[in-house]
Amino acid sequence: MEKMPYSEALHASLPAMEFPVAHHVTSTDWRQQLPVLAAGSVTLRALRDDDAESLCQLLTTDEVARFISPPPTSVEGFRRFIGWAGHEQAAGRYACFAVVPAGTDTAVGLFQVRQLDAEFQNAEWGFVLGSAHWGTGLFAAGAKLIVDFAIDAIGVNRLEARAAVLNGRGNGALAKVGAVREAVLRQSFERHGQRYDQHLWSILASDWRAARRVSTPLVH
């Protein structure tokens, strides 16, 4: 999700919100409380107000922000983003998880899912990690959790992702998790006055469930 649904400029007047410490749950209405998702080296949990500092430090570097919409530029800006995410979650339009490496409680990235239609049958997902955590397996573990969540908890049938053609790492990550590359979207993403072509990727619920039943990754 290189073009993030959040814009700091559009939501500058939104007050920051305090979020409670996330607790492990077995079932919940995700609109009211996101579940804690954990597997191996990673935990995905709801954002908290105190995540703003680490997210600001890790996600605003040039190498991380190169292929995403401009992130907030300050700790306060990330607090406002966290508040906005809570409002959108409560409205049933968006879910955003903090990425937390095993053995820590520090947010080092995000996984996001947003609706593309009113029924949330079609959705777009995206991810961003601090560069120190690239190649550590956090994405692979977290991606399986977030796709499971989108399909099983939200009820998504088609999950899309976009990645700039020049973003080799992002495209490689999507291919490894089993997404199908469908098209090239010409000049569909703008960053720093430059327009980029993007690959459009998709995962269908039926394919994902079939692969999950036999415990093998999707192969196309």
Q: What is the residue extent of each domain of the chain? A: 37-213
pLDDT confidence of residue 18: 38
Say yes or no to pLDDT of 4 above 90.
no
Say yes or no to pLDDT of 9 above 60.
no
Say yes or no to pLDDT of 1 above 50.
no
SS3 content of the chain, % helix, strand, coil (to 5): 30, 30, 40
Other residues' Cβ atoms within 10 Å of the Cβ of residue 133? 17
Say yes or no to pLDDT of 5 above 60.
no
Predicted confidence (pLDDT) per residue in 118-167, tens digit: 999 999 999 999 999 998 889 999 999 999 999 999 999 999 999 999 99
User: Which among 64, 56, 77 is positioned nearest to 6, based on CA atoms?
Assistant: 77
Measured CA to CA, the distance from residue 200 to residue 144 in angstroms comes to: 19
Compute the C-alpha angle 67/49/42, nearest 5°. 60
Say yes or no to pLDDT of 196 above 50.
yes
Query: What is the distance between the terminal CA atoms of the chain, rounded to a whole angstrom?
Result: 22
* Average predicted confidence (pLDDT) for the chain: 87
The burial class, CB within 10 Å (0-12 / 13-18 / 19+), for 153 is middle
User: Which among 73, 115, 81 is positioned nearest to 98, based on CA atoms?
Assistant: 81
Cα–Cα distances (Å) from 91 to 22, 95, 131, in that order, read: 19, 10, 32
pTM here is: 0.84
164 CA to centre of own chain: 16
pLDDT confidence of residue 21: 36
Measured CA to CA, the distance from residue 21 to residue 44 in angstroms comes to: 13
Mean pLDDT to the nearest integer, 74-96: 97
Q: Does domain 37-213 have CATH number 3.40.630.30?
A: yes
- Residues 139, 166, 56, 72, CA torsion sign: negative
Say yes or no to pLDDT of 25 above 90.
no
pLDDT band at residue 68, thresholds of 50, 70 and 90?
A: confident
